[in-house]
Amino acid sequence: MIAAQNLSKRVETAAGPLDILTNIGLEIREREAVAIVGVSGSGKSTLLGLLAGLDLPSAGEVFLSRHRLNDLDEDGRARVRGELVGFVFQSFQLLPGLTALENVMLPLELKGARAPGDQATELLTQVGLQGRLQHYPKQLSGGEQQRVAIARAFATEPAILFADEPTGNLDNVTGERVIDLLFRLNQDKGTTLVLVTHDEHLAVRCDRLIRLEAGRVVADVEETRAS
């Protein structure tokens, strides 16, 4: 589903070039749930950005489904993202001017889906927010906001879901509930999940764990799901 070959990312800084990722090679199968772990600054988020086509590598290539991302311009990659990818972010990234319902409708409307309102309502019901449809992000708690973000991520039934520290801004109990929801939906919809986290406890719930250190893969292990 996702493949990266000899992936490197180098940025220019005031102190000279800095290698954030070096020679990453990996392959993620359909419906697989993969955790990318590592300490802060190990390059996890950069890898996620490259795999999702948000950024281009300095060297190496990335394949999403059958698309070679290196061949595509920004609009081309956006098309691929719209077709295949969903996102969940640490900071939720809900649009403050739109209600919960409208936030979930947005990707559906972008795709030109029919009856986006109905689909969005159903998704918000699935994440337990049927009573909060007309609330604005500001009026929702952190956990609720992340649940809206999850509903939004699944709205277009993407083949791949990228989640960047989805519990980073939540307390333990809320984080746990959100993760349960994420995995349940992931299972139901048969989505490929790429989860970036520094939380080992969360990582072990995935099928596979890729550990990064200073921009290199130091471990890639299949795990038995803990839950």
Residues lying near another protein in the complex (CB under 8 A): 45, 48-49, 52, 54-55, 74-75, 78-83, 85, 87, 89, 93, 95, 97-98, 102, 106-107, 109-112, 156, 164
Q: Which is nearer to another protein, 153 or 178 (CB)?
A: 153
Least Å distance, CB 144 to another protein, is 17
Burial (0-12, 13-18, 19+ Cβ within 10 Å), 5: middle
Q: Which is nearer to another protein, 3 or 113 (CB)?
A: 113
Least Å distance, CB 87 to another protein, is 5
Beta bridge partners of 9: 21
Q: Half-sphere exposure (CA, 13 Å, Cβ side) for 82?
A: 14
Burial (0-12, 13-18, 19+ Cβ within 10 Å), 136: middle
Least Å distance, CB 21 to another protein, is 14
Least Å distance, CB 97 to another protein, is 4
Q: Which is nearer to another protein, 63 or 204 (CB)?
A: 63
Least Å distance, CB 220 to another protein, is 22
Q: Which is nearer to another protein, 1 or 196 (CB)?
A: 196
Alpha helices in 61-141 (DSSP H): 74-84, 100-111, 116-126
Q: Which is nearer to another protein, 97 or 227 (CB)?
A: 97
Tell me phi and psi for residue 206, to 5 degrees: -90, 165
Q: In what order do the strands lie in the sheet with 85-88?
A: 85-88, 160-164, 192-197, 33-37, 208-213, 216-222
List the structure tokens of 81.
């993202």
SS3 60: strand
